[in-house]
Structures are given as structure tokens and as C-alpha cells.
């Protein structure tokens, strides 16, 4: 039993099941995330303290890009196979389907990225408090990205150049998350309590949870019509 | 004369900004089967999608009767649409695909996935990933929705595609049984098929 409505549960478990049977979809964003963070230290000058001061920003940027890239596949297969059409015609509540899709996407992209940020941040010499703030902000930020990204992914699915359009349309929504998320972690590393940033990210998450699933449902109807 | 299950009044439909159907009116009552025929590009699929509510007509009206019809046990969803695409997630098994639908659909289906897949001769392949099934088997899984949801109206777009002789016969029997229960069928097909009831043919002109 979970606290979610049945449609959310079923949609999420369908997303997880189909992804775990074709795990490359999970690994591509994670490999991208890890590769960017592994390569970056080689590209900056060996100035003492420089990397430490920009590390959380780099982790956040890599996470944002990895999640953006994974959003394209969210509705692609269901749209192409006609499954989305059938779900729509079956009278399913598309708002709940949107929440289920977003939750599934977060579990396979945002959550593992946030958890991976802990050992990677530790390897990048971030202190313990900064690591916790980084993971927390990534969890909140990635959940917001999955929710807002799902609506734009639904709107651009099946369009020629839809992948490019998706990245272009999601970035303006994601940049504030990047600014507040990375500055929270940077402030924590300087010993400043990142209360304001965390409240902002929490607010953005609640706002996206309140608005984005309805936008996703509407976007699905537009694309099918 | 029974009340029509589907009534279409003066609809015009466009595909990619091109008019493909102009001022079409038709009605289908319980126990009737309507076959849409016409050359490729005459708008058969477009009409079926409009009847299913997937396309809004440029003008005119599509009305579907949503109440209980004839001796069909439940009104369930008012129609089932079987399109060109099978609508199945390839990484999931046929049973998982149908179970998901039965969990999210409103109202719930009248038969479960196991029994309808068994009826359609897919008992041994119901747990196999859909990607491993043949085109004909996928089409049969898609047709399983007809039995799951006891809807009064069936909209079938080339339903006999990829089916072997015995599966085709089974679908014909399913259509006959549906019509006996005062259900209605609108189908588009180029293939010959046998049906106990009189098939009304609607030939579509090609508008270019």
C-alpha cells in the first residue's frame, strides 16, 4: 500500500518496470553525469581552493543537463506505439498519469543522481555539511524538474525537432533551480545557513506539484488531438 | 428502430491542414455494422479517429450514446477504438499491458486480462515481453480490449491486418456476437470478411 491514488501507483510501477527491463535508459544520464564530473577537474587550472569553490555549481549543472536529456524519452515510446492514445481513451485521469510518469522519471533519474552526488562530492573534497545540502537541493530540484519537464516533454513529443525544443523550453524553468540549488551548497561550504535557498526550492517543488500535472494532462490532450 | 449508438452530423475533417472529409453524416444503431471503404488517403482512419474523439471535426457534431445499450451488461466506456498502432509497451508482457489499462481505466473493465488473453489463444505468451511477439499476436493482444471493455461501440481500423485464418474467423465471430448483443461496429478494411449481419457499406470519395 502506498499513500498515492491507484492511477499514480500503476503508472509509476509501469514506468519502473519498463525501464528496468531496458536499463540503458537509466544508465545514460547517470554515465553522462559521472563523466562530466570526472572530466571537469582536468580542465581547470590547479589553483588551490578554486575547484572546491565551484564544485557544487558543476555538480548541479551536470545534474541539470543529465535530467534534461532523459526527459525526451518520457512520453516518446507511449506516443509512438499508440499507448498514450489508449490510456487517454480508457478514461484514465491524465493528471494522475502525469504525476505517476513524473514520479517514475524522478526515481530513475533525479534520485540516483542526487544519491551519486554524495560520493562524487566527497571525492571532490566537499565538506560533510555541503554534501548534505547538495544532496537535499538536488532531490528537491530534480523532483521539480521531473514535474515541470513532464509537461513540456508531453507537449513536444512526436514533433520534428522536439528534443531540441524540449531542452530550449525547459531551461528557463530549470535555471532558477540551478541558481538557488548551487548557491545553497556554496553558502553551506562557506558556513552560511542556506535557509532562504531551501525555502525557495521547496516552494518551487510545491508550485510545480500543484500546477505541472494539470499542464501535463492538457499537453497530452493537445498532442493527441 | 432502436436509438442510434453513434450519430454523426455534417462533419468535415482535415489532415495536416488538408480537407479529407466534407459534410459527412451517418448513424449506426445497435446490431448494425458499417464498413468504411475507399482508396488510400480517402480519410477512413481520420474518420475513425474523429469518431473516437481523438480528432475534433472542423465543423459538425459526433454524438455517442453513453448509456446502457440493448442487453450489453454494462455501459463501461462508450466505445473501444482499435487503431493501426497496437498501443502496447514492448518491454512489458501482454498481461502487464492489459492489467495496467484495467487498473487506470474508468470505469473498470468487465473482464480481466488473463481471461481475455486465454479466450484469444494467448495463454502461453501472456507473460512474454510484447517485443518478442509476432505482428499477428500483437494485433490479437490489441483486440483483447474489445472483450475486456463491454462497450456498445467498436471502432476498428484494419482489424484483420496480420491475423491468421483462425484468428480472423475468431474476430468475425466476436463481431457477430457483439452485433447479436445489440452492439454496433464501424470498421475500415480492405479485406473481405464474413459477417452474419448485413454490412452497410459507406464509400468515401477521394478529395484532393
Q: What CATH superfamily classification does B4-88+150-203 receive?
A: P-loop containing nucleotide triphosphate hydrolases (3.40.50.300)
The residues spanned by each domain of chain A are 6-224
Å from A104 to nearest chain B CA? 15
Each residue of A103-124: pLDDT tens digit? 999 999 999 999 999 999 998 8
- Whether B16 and chain A come into contact, CB under 8 Å, resolves to no
- CA B75/CA A55 separation, integer angstroms: 60
Say which residue the cell 498481461 belongs to: B95
Please check whether residue B98 is in contact with residue B141, taking contact to mean a CB–CB distance below 8 angstroms: yes
Alpha helices by DSSP H, chain A: 6-20, 24-43, 50-71, 73-81, 83-89, 94-105, 111-123, 128-156, 162-189, 195-224
- Chain A residues with CB under 8 Å of B106 CB are 90-93
Q: Can you spell out the DSSP letters for B23-72? A: EEEEEEETT-EEEEE-STTSSHHHHHHHHHTSS--SEEEEEE--S--TT-
- Chain B residues with CB under 8 Å of A222 CB are none
- CA A115/CA A108 separation, integer angstroms: 11
Interhelix angle B135-148/B94-104, nearest 10 degrees: 30
Give the strand pairing for B33-37 and B199-203.
parallel
Each residue of B102-148: pLDDT tens digit? 999 887 888 999 999 999 989 999 999 999 999 999 999 999 999 99
| Interchain CB distance below 8 Å, A10 and B89 | no
ipTM: 0.88
| Interchain CB distance below 8 Å, A21 and B56 | no
Asked if the bond preceding A213 is cis, omega within 30° of 0, the reply is no
User: Of the candidates A11, A85, A91, which has its C-beta nearest B87's C-beta?
Assistant: A85
Each residue of B142-170: pLDDT tens digit? 999 999 988 889 999 999 988 999 999 99
| Interchain CB distance below 8 Å, A81 and B86 | yes
Each residue of A3-29: pLDDT tens digit? 789 999 999 999 999 999 988 878 889
User: Of the candidates A7, A83, A224, which has its C-beta nearest B89's C-beta?
Assistant: A83
| Interchain CB distance below 8 Å, B100 and A7 | no
Amino acid at each position: 500500500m502506498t499513500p498515492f491514488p491507484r492511477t499514480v501507483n500503476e503508472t509509476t510501477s509501469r514506468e519502473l518496470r519498463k525501464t528496468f527491463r531496458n536499463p540503458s535508459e537509466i544508465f545514460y544520464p547517470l554515465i553522462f553525469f559521472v563523466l562530466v564530473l570526472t572530466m571537469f577537474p582536468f580542465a581547470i587550472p590547479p589553483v588551490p581552493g578554486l575547484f572546491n569553490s565551484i564544485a557544487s555549481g558543476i555538480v548541479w549543472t551536470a545534474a541539470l543537463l543529465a535530467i534534461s536529456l532523459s526527459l525526451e524519452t518520457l512520453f516518446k515510446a507511449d506516443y509512438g506505439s499508440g499507448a498514450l492514445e489508449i490510456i487517454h481513451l480508457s478514461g484514465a485521469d491524465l493528471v494522475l498519469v502525469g504525476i505517476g510518469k513524473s514520479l517514475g522519471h524522478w526515481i530513475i533519474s533525479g534520485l540516483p543522481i542526487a544519491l551519486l552526488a554524495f560520493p562524487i562530492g566527497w571525492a571532490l573534497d566537499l565538506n560533510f555539511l555541503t554534501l548534505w545540502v547538495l544532496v537535499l537541493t538536488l532531490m528537491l530540484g530534480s523532483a521539480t524538474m521531473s514535474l515541470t519537464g513532464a509537461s513540456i516533454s508531453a507537449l513536444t513529443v512526436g514533433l520534428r525537432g522536439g528534443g531540441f525544443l524540449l531542452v530550449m523550453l525547459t531551461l528557463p524553468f530549470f535555471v532558477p533551480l540551478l541558481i538557488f540549488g548551487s548557491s545553497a551548497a556554496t553558502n553551506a561550504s562557506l558556513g552560511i545557513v542556506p535557509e532562504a535557498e531551501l525555502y525557495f526550492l521547496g516552494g518551487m517543488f510545491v508550485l510545480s506539484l500543484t500546477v505541472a500535472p494539470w499542464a501535463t494532462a492538457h499537453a497530452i490532450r493537445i498532442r493527441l488531438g | 428502430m432502436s436509438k442510434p449508438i453513434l450519430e454523426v452530423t455534417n462533419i468535415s475533417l482535415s489532415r495536416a491542414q488538408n480537407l479529407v472529409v466534407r459534410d459527412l453524416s451517418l448513424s449506426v444503431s445497435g446490431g448494425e455494422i458499417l464498413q468504411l471503404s475507399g482508396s488510400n488517403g480517402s480519410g477512413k482512419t481520420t474518420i475513425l479517429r474523429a469518431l473516437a474523439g481523438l480528432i475534433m471535426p472542423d465543423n459538425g457534431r459526433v454524438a455517442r450514446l453513453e448509456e446502457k445499450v440493448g442487453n450489453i451488461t454494462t455501459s463501461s466506456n462508450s466505445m473501444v477504438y482499435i487503431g493501426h498502432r497496437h498501443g502496447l509497451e514492448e518491454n512489458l508482457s501482454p498481461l502487464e499491458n492489459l492489467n495496467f489499462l484495467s487498473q487506470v481505466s474508468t470505469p473498470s473493465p468487465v473482464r480481466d486480462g488473463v481471461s481475455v488473453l486465454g479466450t484469444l489463444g494467448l495463454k502461453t505468451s501472456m507473460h512474454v515481453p510484447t517485443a518478442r511477439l509476432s505482428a499477428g499476436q500483437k494485433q490479437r493482444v490489441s483486440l483483447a480490449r474489445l472483450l475486456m471493455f463491454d462497450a456498445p461501440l467498436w471502432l476498428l481500423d484494419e482489424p484483420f491486418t496480420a491475423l491468421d485464418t483462425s484468428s480472423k474467423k475468431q474476430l468475425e465471430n466476436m463481431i457477430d456476437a457483439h452485433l447479436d448483443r445489440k452492439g454496433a461496429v464501424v470498421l475500415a478494411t480492405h479485406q473481405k470478411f464474413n459477417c452474419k449481419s448485413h454490412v452497410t457499406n459507406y464509400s468515401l470519395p477521394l478529395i484532393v
